[in-house]
Amino acid sequence: MTIISRPLSPGEVVDARGGTQVERQFNNRIYLGKIRSVDEDNGVVSVDVFGVGQHNQILIPLHAISIHKTRSSWIRYMPQSGDYVKVGFGPDNHPEILTYALYGDDPTDGRTDGNPGSYAPRVSGYKQIRRLKERSDAGEKPGGVPLGLRDFIPLRQGEWDLRSSGGAYIHGSQFGVVTLSAGQNVIKVDKPNEEVSAETQLFKLDAGNETFIRLGDIKRKLTPADTGETTVSASISGIVSTREYHLKVSQVVDPTGVTPPLTVYEEKMGDIRDDDGVPTIPIPLLVSKAAYTAGVQMYGFSVDNLGAVTLSAPGPVGKIYLKGGPAVLTTYAAVRAETLALWLTTQLSVLTAFGPSGPAVVPFLLDGGLLSPASLNVQVS
Domains of the chain plus CATH, in order, are 16-139 (2.40.50.230), 160-198 (no CATH), 201-312 (no CATH), 317-375 (no CATH)
Q: Give how far Cα 249 sits from Cα of 124, 207, 264, Å.
A: 55, 9, 6
Residue 173: Cβ within 10 Å count: 19
Q: Is the pLDDT of residue 319 over 60?
A: no
Query: What pLDDT does residue 200 have?
Result: 94
Per-residue pLDDT tens for 111-157?
Answer: 444 444 444 444 345 666 677 677 666 666 555 556 667 777 888 88
| Cα–Cα distance, 242 to 199 (Å, whole number) | 17
| Cα–Cα distance, 54 to 60 (Å, whole number) | 16
Query: What pLDDT does residue 8 have?
Result: 55
Question: Which amino acid is present at 307?
Answer: G
Looking at every residue in the chain, the average pLDDT score rounds to 74
Query: What pLDDT does residue 75 have?
Result: 87
Query: What pLDDT does residue 16 have?
Result: 46
Which of 238, 201, 207 has the alpha carbon at shortest distance from 219?
Answer: 201
Q: Give how far Cα 67 sits from Cα of 72, 97, 99, 212, 316, Å.
A: 4, 21, 22, 36, 66
Q: Is the pLDDT of residue 250 over 50?
A: yes
Q: Is the pLDDT of residue 161 over 60?
A: yes
Q: Is the pLDDT of residue 193 over 90?
A: yes
Query: What pLDDT does residue 294 have?
Result: 87
User: E-assigned strands of 40-192?
Assistant: 44-49, 53-59, 64-66, 73-75, 84-89, 95-101, 160-163, 168-172, 177-182, 185-190
Q: Is the pLDDT of residue 348 over 90?
A: no
Q: What is the mean pLDDT of residues 2-12?
A: 49
Task: Determine contact, residues 25/12, Cβ cutoff 8 Å.
Answer: yes
| Cα–Cα distance, 115 to 103 (Å, whole number) | 10
Q: What is the mean pLDDT of residues 353-360?
A: 54
Least confident of 13-17, 25-29, 195-199, 318-322: 318-322
Q: What is the mean pLDDT of residues 294-318?
A: 76
Least confident of 34-38, 153-157, 194-198: 153-157
∠ CA 281-215-203, nearest 5°, is: 140
Query: What pLDDT does residue 59 have?
Result: 93
Query: What pLDDT does residue 369 have?
Result: 41
Residue 353: Cβ within 10 Å count: 5
Least confident of 76-85, 264-273, 301-310: 301-310
| Cα–Cα distance, 210 to 59 (Å, whole number) | 45
Least confident of 205-219, 253-267, 362-376: 362-376
Query: What pLDDT does residue 280 have?
Result: 82
Q: What is the mean pLDDT of residues 187-199?
A: 96
Q: What is the mean pLDDT of residues 246-256?
A: 93
Contacts of 101 (CB under 8 A, 6+ apart): 32, 84, 85, 86, 122
| Cα–Cα distance, 344 to 379 (Å, whole number) | 13
| Cα–Cα distance, 288 to 125 (Å, whole number) | 57
Q: Is the pLDDT of residue 378 over 60?
A: no
At residue 180 the predicted structure's pLDDT band, cuts being 50, 70 and 90, is: very high
Query: What pLDDT does residue 346 have?
Result: 53
Per-residue pLDDT tens for 41-92?
Answer: 999 999 998 888 888 899 999 888 888 878 888 888 899 998 889 999 887 7
